[in-house]
Structure 1
Amino acid sequence: MKIYKYIIWIAVICTSLFAACSDEERGPVVSDSTIPGNVSNVQVERLPGAIKLKYDLPNDQALAYVKAECVMNGIKREVKSSAYNNNLIIQGFPDTCSYQINLYSVNRSEVVNPSPVTLSAKPLNPPFQDVYKTLSLMKDFGGATVTFENPMEADLAITLMYIDSLGYWSSGETLYTKRLEGSVSIRNMDTIPTTFGVYIRDRWNNMTDTLVSELTPMYEHELDKTLFRQYNLPTDEPSAYGWTVPMLWDGSTADGSGFHTDGTTWPQWITIDLGAEKIKLSRFRYWQRQTWGYGFADRNVKKMEIWGSTAPNPDGSWDDSWVYLTTATSVKPSGLPLGELSSEDTQLLNDGEEFSFPLEVPAIRYLRLKVMETWSGARGSWYLMELSFWGAEEE
């Protein structure tokens, strides 16, 4: 019993000591009041929206790191680089103005040299401003679309908005992206003149001006899927594993509720009757299979041609009864290797990939989906989970 009590007292004492130690204010492990020497021979390299500084380090054992300070938009930014590196990069500049930069040397006790090396430098034009110059805002079916080019693949937020019926700017749609090029659209709007605006923000909250234009959306509506029918022609690819063509418009993207083939010929195609005469298509969306990590991988469709007809040849041949409409090429926003997905990739898989038809496409009733390439490059089989089409019937 005495031994047991002795062990308990030791545990209590150790716990008390640990608690006391943890309550002490933590500071530098090393106590050193030596002021570290400054860097020298600073060289400036101008970068897009950034400045790279290269310098000679002092022969000073007290130096722990070099700290750069710079004020942008009234906010002080700090960048640190260890004593093992002879350079640092300051990012997030909003323009090409001249900025004062202070370079401080700091020791292991956080003692800062009070006399920094001071210089002025100008960054090159920041990427978000370059992307702004590529914006093209235009009317579209059911709303408006803005296209952009982002050659440096900068992390950006591109916001397309509009003035609502109360005269206020609506938040609209925002695309968070670093893809090379793309578009943002607002849909489901009335065909009345509307003021649209678009601006770009980068990850340092730098923002462009707003590009504003008054546009009148073109009429469209989502086609009624209850009218869709499989139009099976002799050369069409048969279904496999119980995944049939009508499952492409059953409203579900769940695994097993799509279309799947398992053949040997290539390319392969299927035919769909949209159920109404003379439909002028504006856009369509399709959903990939996502389970088992198949998004942007395996036999998901990467590239397919869309053809239209008002009266297909019943023998299934590719004759002049078919008119080429467009080619849809799936693009993975992140560009990551197969099997790796970013949040933007996953969001696109959930939303479905959207493709527009050229304005000059003729009105049709029958569609042919001709699959040219899958994400894995495999031939002989492919799958899709769901399809949606938009457009308008012509008189």
Structure 2
Amino acid sequence: MKKFLYIILLASISLVFIRCEDMKDWSDPVDDVPPGKISNPMVENLNGAAQITYSLPSDNDILGVKAVFFLNENEAPREAFSSAFRDTIDLDGFPDTNERIVKLITVDKSKNESEPVEVVVNPLTPAVHLIRESLSVNETFGGLYVTWENPYKEDIGISLFMEDSTGTMVHNYTYFTNVAEQGYSFRGLENTPTRFQIQIRDNWDRYSDPLDTVMTPIYEEYISSKDQYGQLIILQYAHSDGTAEYRGDVPRWAQHTSQDWPDMFDGNIGNMFNTGNQGNPLSQYTKNPADELKMMFPVYFIMDMGRSCKFSRIKFWQWSTRTLAGAAPKHFQLWATNEEPQTVNFSTPILESLAYWTSWPEVGGYDGWTEKWDLIADCWNIPASGQTDPLLISADDVAWAKANGFEHEIFPEFTNKTYRYI
């Protein structure tokens, strides 16, 4: 028995040694032979950057290509790397349009380097300087409204500096973006003449020349929904006279006891105005049961502000349990007028009236009323991440929307005009 076990043990040990001896060495061979050089380099000069394409050598152990160059004369050299799976290398961060020499070096898996191939690049004007040419600023309520054009969609920061009592320019805030065309309002500024500077920067610490100006932000205050007696001023126009159905206004009356009209303006973001749990069926207007399943969009309602107001911005909050989901509004427009909305003639067929007041195809809607109103804001409720696909909205997006709401600017050309109806 012992002899039998001994034989089996020897056989097992021999098998282990045999298998180890047969194991393949998968590591890359190491040598000290430099790889071949790249060939056929071609340069495309870009704004503050350059892209170089080339042909790789035929060596079978190429790791990639390294570029060595200087952004500035008195700085250490910079390096960029592109793997052997590409025939292009991207260089960025050039602060000016001066000519530069770039050395392209092939690197193999043994870290051997080829002889360098020199190419000349002539970067175009960095985008921050071109964006600066479109930069403009105007006073707005409680601050400054800055606009710019960024067709390159560069990652940039728009920085505001303001002069303090000692004459020092102090950083106030930097707004980061890569949108092609945009405006931003710097808020929380006093209604006093102040020297400001607006400057653009990018990820490579390239700075534009500052826009230097003296401006007086317009005094801003919250438009209260109630008068000094606590009575609601902002009303849903025309519901009291029964013309809402003729105008296509969502038929939800102010005297509803749950999620009613005043809840939209009570300052409590936990409360809300609900346009109706059953949607907005056409049958609510035509009284035709056959129209019950035809849900109408867009939803309309007219607000009487109770007095003429100048508008600077609107802050919008979605229902906390439906934020960026369900029927939470994603897009809405704000129209305004000072003239009392056109009187409804009850002798006019309701479908004819609805055609004038809506864009609903089912009634031949053509939004005729817009000829007498001003479009003062076009509002998209999009989180700070810029995500627009509802299937990709993240928990962070929802948390951001709940904490911050959505702020929309009134178009600058209308901020100094007064309106009563929106």
The TM-score bracket by the shorter chain reads 0.7 to 0.9
| CA contact 1:160–1:185 (8 Å) conserved in 2 | no
Structure 2 counterpart of 1:271, from 266, 288, 302: 302
What amino acid maps onto 2:127 in structure 1?
P
Out of 126-135 and 305-314, give the one that drifted further: 305-314
Deviation at 1:29, TM superposition (A): 6.0
Change in Cα spacing, 1:34 to 1:58, as seen in structure 2 (3 Å) is same
Q: Tell me which residue corresponds to 2:180.
A: 180
For residues 400 and 198 of structure 2, what CA distance do their matches in structure 1 show? 21
Instruction: Confirm or deny that 1:340 pairs with 2:388.
Output: no
Deviation at 1:134, TM superposition (A): 0.9
For residues 320 and 107 of structure 2, what CA distance do their matches in structure 1 show? 51
Instruction: Confirm or deny that 1:237 pairs with 2:250.
Output: yes
For residues 120 and 281 of structure 1, what CA distance do their matches in structure 2 show? 55
Q: Tell me which residue corresponds to 1:283.
A: 313
Secondary structure in structure 2 of the residue aligned to 1:278: strand
| CA contact 1:34–1:62 (8 Å) conserved in 2 | no
**TM-score normalised to structure 2 length:** 0.69
Out of 309-318 and 33-42, give the one that drifted further: 309-318
Change in Cα spacing, 1:251 to 1:86, as seen in structure 2 (3 Å) is same
Matches within 5 A, 1:121-200: 121-200=121-200
For residues 345 and 278 of structure 1, what CA distance do their matches in structure 2 show? 35
What amino acid maps onto 1:328 in structure 2?
D
Change in Cα spacing, 1:83 to 1:327, as seen in structure 2 (3 Å) is closer
Matches within 5 A, 1:44-63: 44-63=43-62
> 1:25-72: CA deviations, max 9, x gaps?
xxx964322211211221111123321111121122342211112221
Instruction: Confirm or deny that 1:84 pairs with 2:85.
Output: yes
Q: Tell me which residue corresponds to 1:247.
A: 263
| CA contact 1:52–1:90 (8 Å) conserved in 2 | yes
Change in Cα spacing, 1:125 to 1:62, as seen in structure 2 (3 Å) is same
| CA contact 1:176–1:344 (8 Å) conserved in 2 | no
Aligned length: 335
Q: Tell me which residue corresponds to 1:106.
A: 107
Query: Alignment identity in percent?
Result: 28
Deviation at 1:148, TM superposition (A): 0.8
Q: Tell me which residue corresponds to 2:9.
A: none
Structure possessing the higher radius of gyration over alpha carbons: 2
Change in Cα spacing, 1:352 to 1:132, as seen in structure 2 (3 Å) is same
**Ranges in structure 1 where 5+ consecutive residues have no aligned partner:** 1-27, 369-395
> 1:316-340: CA deviations, max 9, x gaps?
98779x7535242327573654433
Secondary structure in structure 2 of the residue aligned to 1:274: strand
Structure 2 counterpart of 1:354, from 405, 408, 411: 408
| CA contact 2:156–2:178 (8 Å) conserved in 1 | yes
**Ranges in structure 2 where 5+ consecutive residues have no aligned partner:** 1-26, 228-232, 282-295, 346-352, 358-368
> 1:98-123: CA deviations, max 9, x gaps?
1221111111122223x311222112
Change in Cα spacing, 1:135 to 1:339, as seen in structure 2 (3 Å) is farther
Instruction: Confirm or deny that 1:307 pairs with 2:336.
Output: yes
| CA contact 1:100–1:118 (8 Å) conserved in 2 | yes
Greater fraction of residues in helix? 2
Out of 50-59 and 79-88, give the one that drifted further: 79-88
For residues 145 and 300 of structure 1, what CA distance do their matches in structure 2 show? 26
